[in-house]
Structures are given as C-alpha cells and as structure tokens.
Structure 1
Amino acid sequence: MIKIVFMLALMSMVLPVNAEIYKCKTNDRVMYQSTPCTQGASDEVDIYIPSVPDNSFEPGDIPDDDYKEERRQRWAEEQKRLNEKSKAIREERLRQERFKKMIWHHEVAIGMTKKQAERSWGKPCDINRSVYASGVHEQWVYCTGKYDRQYLYFEDDELTGMN
C-alpha cells in the first residue's frame, strides 16, 4: 500500500523540463536533435512555451453561475424537444398500426394515404382530380351498387373526407 501511495505521489509531481534543441545543416538537409552537431555549424533553437496567466480557470472550473443556468436551460429545452419528437414518432407508429388493422377489415379513416385507401377498398370506379395553387384535390368514386356511390376526398396524398 505504501508503494502505491509513493508511486502516485511521484507521478503527480510536476518538474520543469530543460531541453536544448540544435539545428544542424548537412548536405542541404536540416535536422533537429538534442545534441550539438558533429560536423558543420550548429545553431541552438529557442523554444517558446507560453505561460498560463494567473487568472485562468482550471479545466473543471466554471466562471459564474449564469453560465451554469444557461447550460441547464439549454439542456432542459433539448430534452423537451427530444421528448416531443419521440412522442410524435410513437403516435405515428400507433396510427400506422391502427391503419393496418383497418385495411385488414376493409375500412378507411381520415389521414390514410391513397395507397392505404386503395389497399383497403380497391381501385375506385372514377377519379375526379382538380389542381389548384394550394395543391391537388381528388374525389375517388366507388360504385357499391347500380346507383349507390361512396366517395373519398384527398388533398395531395392524404384522405381528408369521405361520404
């Protein structure tokens, strides 16, 4: 145990390091080394090590409480956004599962796509299409008897009404 404490104490000590670097030129090559050059002239290179100002913060320090509060608020907003997004995804999955069951029972519901409505009721007898600046509106006509008709109304690709 004493050896471990001693080793940790030794490793935590910071000692200043002095090193000299020499720049050597030989045969049109420049080399940097820690010993003076054996041939030719050698220049000692000064290495600039910036000092840390006295008022600097340690890595774990936070300058003020406002910064903490701002980070906490940003985190809370991000969590709220992620929760809303995952809730919307869950709701859409449940909606699609409900639509699958309805297709199986040959039923339609507001919000279905054209493809889902066609899977549920089949191809319509007639399609009346109107194109406006706001989008494409379609009326699908299903012939259920000699004179009986059922209608599905779509805006773009979504079922918006039925009759």
Structure 2
Amino acid sequence: MFFRKFFISLQILLRSSVLLIGILLPTSTIATIYQCHTNGELALQDTPCPTDVPQTEIDVVIKNDKKRNIGSNQYDQSQFSAWENELIDAGKVSVGMSTNALIQSWGSPVDINRSAYSPEQWVFRSGRYTYKYAYIRDGAVVNWQD
C-alpha cells in the first residue's frame, strides 16, 4: 500500500513539474559576453577573462525569431464567392460549398474515408475528443455533421 501511494504521489509530482517547466520556458534568453583586452587585442568569449586581464561584461538578449500567427485566418477571398466567404469567416459549412472553401472554414481534415457508392467522408477534429464530418461528392459538400 505504501508503494502505491508513493508512486501516485510521484506521478502527480512529475506531471506538475512538466507543466511548470512548460510554463516557465522563456521565449528569449539572456546571455553574458565578456570582452577581454589582452596585448592590445580584443577577444569576445562566453567565460570570464583571466584575473589579470581587463574585461567588460555585455548582456545580450537572444529572442526567439519564430513568428506565430495564432488566430489569423488570412486567405485569398477572390478565390471564393461572397456566400462562401461569409461561411469561411463564420467557420461554418453548407451544402454546395467547394472543398477548398471547406478547408478554409474548418481546416485540413485529419482523415478522409472513401467507399464505392457513397460520398467521401472528411473527418475534422473539433475538440480534444470530438470530431466534425463533411460529406463530399464531385468536389462539393453534400452534407455535414458538427
């Protein structure tokens, strides 16, 4: 019984630690560069200069250069009709909508199921454990479930 409680406590601690590390990871890093002046020459290094050499410390901020466009849904509106653009902007789907407009509205499908006689079933993730479905025939939506 003791070991069971110990392992449960350890699991909780590990999960909490992973979450805390993820939250605390910086998007930028601060580093110190040392300027060492020896024999009239300038050296830049990441470790302190020897004790008998004059040094200058420079703090450098290294930022993450990746740009994120979270929430931006930019697309070429001229590719779609006004009706499809309204649906895309609202994140909705309707019968007759093109597959390209469907992808702009709901994103890329996680799976496409095909059979011999029925329309294709496009599967979209709508939550962690939930899905939405669009049924496609000849490049257009013929039905959907959300």
Which bin holds the TM-score, normalised by the shorter protein?
0.3 to 0.5
Q: Give the helix-richer structure, 1 or 2.
A: 1
- TM-score (normalizing by structure 2): 0.41
Greater relative contact order (Cα 8 A, min sep 6): structure 1 or 2?
2
Q: Give the strand-richer structure, 1 or 2.
A: 2
- TM-score (normalizing by structure 1): 0.37
Computing the radius of gyration from Cα coordinates, the structure with the larger value is: 1
